[in-house]
Amino acid sequence: MTDPRPRVDLSRFDNSKTFHPGAGVVKRTLWFFVNAIIFQNPAFPFRSPKPALLRLFGARVGKGVVIHPSVNIKFPWKLTIGDHSWIGQHAWLDNLDQLTIGNNVVISQGAMIIQGSHDYKKIDYPTYTGPVVLEDGSWVGAGAMVTLGVTLRSHAVLAAGSVATKDLEAYTIYQGVPAVAVRERIIASA
C-alpha cells in the first residue's frame, strides 16, 4: 500500500516565482567565470585585484579588505564589506540575499554564510532567502555556518564548527550546533 500523503514534486519547481538574483543573465554569466578563475581558484594567490573586481560587479567594498584564495561568492551585487575585514580560504558566501559584513570582521577558512533554503512544507519546494549581517568586529570561526536571517552583533564570536540559527549577542562567544552562548568575549586593550 502506498502512502497517501502528498509528496514533494520537483518537476513543479519554478524559482522565478520566489527568487530574484538581482542581475541579468549576462552579468551573472560573467561573474560565474570571474568567480571560478580568480576567487575560487587556489592557484590564483593574488589578493589585491579582488576588491576592485567585486566593486566592478556592484559590491560595496571598503579599504584593507583581504580575500584569500578559494573563496566562493555567489552574487557580489548583494554584498557589502566594511574596512579591514578578512575572508579566509574556502569560505563560501552563498549570498542569495543582502550580505552585510562590517569593519574588522573575520570569516575564517571553510566558513559558510548560507542565505537561502527551500520551503519543505510545500509540494513545489520554493526558494526563500534572508539577509545576514556580520557587525563590526564579529568573527565566524573555521568551518562554522551562519544561516539566513541571522545577525552577529558587534564583536560576537561563532566558534569553529558551530552553526548560528539565531542572532548572536554582542561581545559573546557562541559554540555548538545550534550555537549557544558559552562566555563573554573580553578584548584586551593594546
Q: Predicted confidence band at 118 (pLDDT cuts at 50, 70, 90)?
A: very high
pLDDT for the residue numbered 87? 98
> Residues near 125 by Cβ (< 8 Å), separated by ≥ 6?
8, 10, 13, 118, 119
Averaged confidence pLDDT in the chain: 96
Instruction: Give pLDDT tens digits for 134-179.
Output: 999 999 999 999 999 999 999 999 999 999 999 999 999 999 999 9
Work out the average pLDDT over 48-74: 97
Other C-beta atoms closer than 10 Å to the C-beta of 163 total: 18
Quote the CA–CA distance of 162 and 120 in Å, as a whole number.
23
Distances (CA, A) of 43 to 9, 49, 86, 90, 112: 41, 14, 19, 13, 21
Query: Would you put residue 51 in left (φ > 0), alpha (ψ -120 to 50) or beta?
Result: alpha
Rounded to the nearest 10°, the torsion over CA 92, 94, 95, 97 is: -160
pLDDT tens digits along 88-112: 999 999 999 999 999 999 999 999 9
Closest CA to 69 of 33, 34, 45: 45
The helix (run of H) or strand (run of E) holding residue 94 is: strand 92-94
| Residue 17 confidence (pLDDT) above 90 | no
Contact between residue 170 and residue 185 where contact means Cβ atoms under 8 Å apart: no
Q: Which of 79-88, 115-124, 128-137 has the lowest mean pLDDT?
A: 115-124
Q: What is the pLDDT of residue 73?
A: 98
pLDDT at 190: 80
Query: Stretch 26-52: mean pLDDT, rounded?
Result: 96
**pLDDT score, position 45:** 87
The span from the CA of 62 to the CA of 143, in Å, is 25
Domains and CATH numbers, the chain: 20-184 (2.160.10.10)
Whether 1 has a pLDDT exceeding 80, the answer reads no
Pick the closest to residue 111 from 158, 179, 54 (CA basis): 158
